[in-house]
Structure 1
Amino acid sequence: MPVFPKSMHKIAMLGGGSWATALTKIVSENGSHVGWWLRSKDDVQHLLRTRHNPRYLSSVAFDLARVQPATDLADVVAEADWLVLAVPAAFVQPVLDKLDRDALKNKRIISAIKGMIPEKNVLVTDYVAQRFRLAPEQLGVVAGPCHAEEVALEKQSYLTIGSPDVELAETFCQLLRNRYVKAHPSADLDGIEYCAVMKNIIALTCGIAHGLGYGDNFQAVLVSNAVQEIRRFLHALSPLPRDLSASAYLGDLLVTAYSQFSRNRTFGNMVGRGYSVKSAQMEMNMVAEGYYAVKSIHDLNKKLKEFMPITDAAYRVLYEKVAPAVEIELLKEKFR
């Protein structure tokens, strides 16, 4: 696969949230042309009129010579060489099912989604490969540690692009690199993607503990045990040699578990403070992927039968309505 200058790439960005907005900022300012699909006609009109996303990271101004907002999904995809998926995992299937099965035939797909397809319990890249009959070498995933809010502020950030095709990963890294973003390729697509799913579960559980009044000491133990839980789960599903202390794994986990910008931690904190799941979801303006991830990983582990006390505790709180205080008290006894 040839490596082209940044200005020659055409990217279809799917999604209107904060991460889609941040990625559009990065790649467009680097010279790529972005066809930006948003569901809302009002949001598209606002962007065309003001150059700002009215809902997320509204301080970012876009150059409309490089960024073309639109609501016609098929047209946006047809014009692109790359497709970047940045819609919540719970909604990606109904969005992509609107496309013809051959629509992605000659394109390279990057998932920026930190979740799984609900009910199917499959990774987003696995679903895309099956739905559109794509080779693994056409697929990649983008991982942190990186919060969209800090990208908007142009704070130093690091990204990893995972793909079985190292050339694809390196090419997309080139589209992202600038003075405040460093990007590195990796061949471990599955490991990075599963880690991105599981770190949301851990962050959500950290939020629950924080909402209950637990401090930094307990959270440090929780995150340490979480690394072991992730290692067991990954070894059962994808037993490849990987260094979980690398930033794509541990770094992404830490920033999501501790940051003020983490929507999963915020969601968990609300649940820990006594909000019902429904009321917490209604009050938040963004989707907490961890809510859906908990059920998917819990269901997958029914066959694997790995020791996953954090995932089990989160599942019982969110889906079986067990009191958060009870579950965290039980979880304490399982940590070392």
Structure 2
Amino acid sequence: MSFLNTTIKIAVIGGGSWATALIKILCEQNNVQIRWWLRNQRDIDHIRKFHHNPSYLSDVVLSPKKVKVFEKTTDAVKGADYVILAVPAAFVRESLQHLTAKHLQGKRVVSAIKGMVPDLNILVTEWVSNDFGIPPEETCVIAGPCHAEEVALEKQSYLSIASTECPTAEDFAALMTCRYVAANPLDDLYGVEYAAIMKNIIALACGITHGLGYGDNFQAVLVSNAMQEIGNLVTALDARERNLSSSAYLGDLLVTSYSQFSRNRLFGNMIGRGYGVKAAQLEMKMIAEGYYATKSIHEINKIHQVNLPITEAVHRILYEENSPAAVIDDLKKLLK
């Protein structure tokens, strides 16, 4: 798919901070037009009038010449070359319910979702291929240590664009590269996607232990053990050679586990401090993908039987209502 000297039309599905950050990055390109779908009509009206998202990253000014907002997904994807999915995994089916395979025919689909489709327990790219007939080689995922808040501040960031075929990843990586973002292509679609899902669960565990009063020494051991856990699961699900110490894997894990901007760490911290799951969800404005991912990975691992002590500890706390203090006390005996 060549876009040399042509206008590239990109539909973005989702109205949160990550969707807004991605649009900011894409607007750095001269030949890009954004077709943006948001669920909230109030936000749509505000963006049309004032050219910024009132609910997320409100300091980011969006060019009205490059960004057009739509109420219907069918209108947003019309004529688009790429469709970026940037909604929480729990809402991806609902957000795309009015689209059919015909609407997405001939388009490349990009998942900016670091979560699994709940209940189905499958990757977002797998769901897109299954339900909309998009060939796997025409899908890719956005991963890497890159918080939306730092994109808004134009702090140097790095992304990994992964696909089963290098040309797809290379094309989209070029679109996501600008003066403050370096984007690199990878051909490990499923490994990157599974690692991105797992790191949210680990960030929850880090938040829980921090809320319980554990210090930096314990957190370092937890994260190093978590990297082994991620590697074991990813290998069981998609065995191939991959460098797990690269930024797409380890870098993403580190920033999500330690950053002040990590919603999964924040959610876990609230649980560790004594909040119930529902109380923590109500207090947070944004979705913590790790909550849903924990259940999905737990269900998947019933088949593969990989040793996942950290993931299982988080599952015991969130879904089996075990005491965080007691569960982490058991977990720390398994770490090395």
| Equivalent in the alignment of 1:180 | 180
SS of 2:104's equivalent in the other structure is coil
Name the CA distance, whole Å, in 2 between partners of 1:104 and 1:115. Answer: 21
- In 2, the alpha carbon distance for the partners of 1:28 and 1:168 equals 20
1:257 aligns with 2:257: yes
Is 1:329 the counterpart of 2:329? The answer is yes
SS of the equivalent of 2:99 reads: coil
- Please list the CA deviations of residues 293-332 of structure 1 after superposition, one character each: whole Å capped at 9, or x if unmatched: 0000010001111110000000010001001001100000
Displacement after TM superposition at 1:101 (Å):
2.3
CA RMSD of aligned residues (A): 0.8
Whether contact under 8 Å (2:109, 2:138) holds in the other structure is yes
Counterpart secondary structure, 1:103: helix
Aligned 1:94-105 pairs, distance under 5 A: 94-105=94-105
| Corresponding residue number in structure 2 for 1:237 | 237
Per the alignment, residue 58 of structure 2 pairs with 58
After TM superposition, give the deviation of residue 137 of structure 1 in Å: 1.1
Q: Which amino acid counterpart does residue 27 of structure 1 have in structure 2?
A: L
Q: Deviations over 1:32-82 (max 9, x none)?
A: 100000001110100011111010000000101100111111011112110
Letter in 2 for 1:19: W
* Letter matched to residue 27 of structure 2: S
TM-score w.r.t. the length of structure 1 is: 0.98
How much does 1:226 deviate? 0.3
User: Counterparts of 1:48 and 1:101 in 2: how far apart (Å)?
Assistant: 29
Distance 1:59 1:146 in 2: 18
- Kindly tell me the number of residue pairs found equivalent between the two proteins: 335
1:87: which partner in 2?
87
* Deviation of 1:3 (Å): 4.3
Q: d(CA) in 2 for partners of 1:108 and 1:76?
A: 14
Q: Distance in 2 between matches of 1:258 and 1:315?
A: 20
Aligned to 1:142: 142
Say yes or no: does 1:29 pair with 2:28. Answer: yes
What is the CA-CA distance between 1:266 and the residue it aligns to?
0.1
SS of the residue 2:255 aligns to: helix
Q: Which runs of 5 or more residues in structure 2 are unaligned? A: none
Q: Which residue of 2 aligns with 1:289?
A: 289
Deviations 1:4-41 (A, max 9, x none): 34x61100000000000000011022221000000011
The one-letter amino acid paired with 2:327 is E
CA offset digits 1:280-305 (Å, max 9, x no partner): 00000000000000000010001111
Distance 1:144 1:305 in 2: 27
1:73 corresponds to 2:73: yes
Q: Which residue of 2 aligns with 1:106?
A: 106
Q: What is the DSSP-based 3-state SS (H/G/I as helix, E as strand, rest coil) of the residue aligned with 1:87?
A: coil
Structure 1 residue runs of 5 or longer lacking an equivalent are none
- Per-residue CA distance 1:248-283 (angstroms, 9 max, x = gap): 000000000000000000000000000000000000
Give the residue type in structure 1 aligned to 2:75. D
Amino acid at match of 2:44: V
1:204 match:
204
Partner of 2:314, secondary structure, is helix
Q: Indicate if the aligned counterparts of 2:14 and 2:39 stay in contact, CA closer than 8 A.
A: yes
Q: Assess if the C-alpha contact under 8 Å between 2:116 and 2:293 holds in 1.
A: yes
- Residue of structure 1 equivalent to 2:121: 121
Distance 1:249 1:258 in 2: 15
Amino acid at match of 2:79: E
Aligned-partner Cα distance in 2 for 1:111–1:134: 12
Q: Which amino acid aligns with 1:79?
A: G
Larger displacement relative to structure 2 (90-99 or 112-121): 90-99
The alpha-carbon deviation at position 97 of structure 1 amounts to 2.4
Tell me how far apart the structure 1 counterparts of residues 290 and 137 of structure 2 sit (CA, whole Å).
28
Once residues 125 and 320 of structure 1 are traced to their aligned partners in structure 2, the CA distance between those partners, rounded to angstroms, is 29
Deviation of the 1:94 alpha carbon? 1.4
Contact residue 28 and residue 178 of structure 2 kept, 8 A: no
Report the 3-state secondary structure (helix = DSSP H, G, I; strand = E; otherwise coil) of the residue aligned with 1:53: coil
**d(CA) in 2 for partners of 1:252 and 1:333?**
26
Query: Paired residue for 1:13?
Result: 12
Inter-partner Cα distance in structure 2 for 1:149 and 1:159: 14
The CA distance in 1 between the partners of 2:191 and 2:230, in whole Å, is 10
Q: What is the distance in 1 between the residues matched to 2:292 and 2:241?
A: 28
1:142 match: secondary structure: strand
Structure 1: 4+ residue segments shifted above 3 A = none
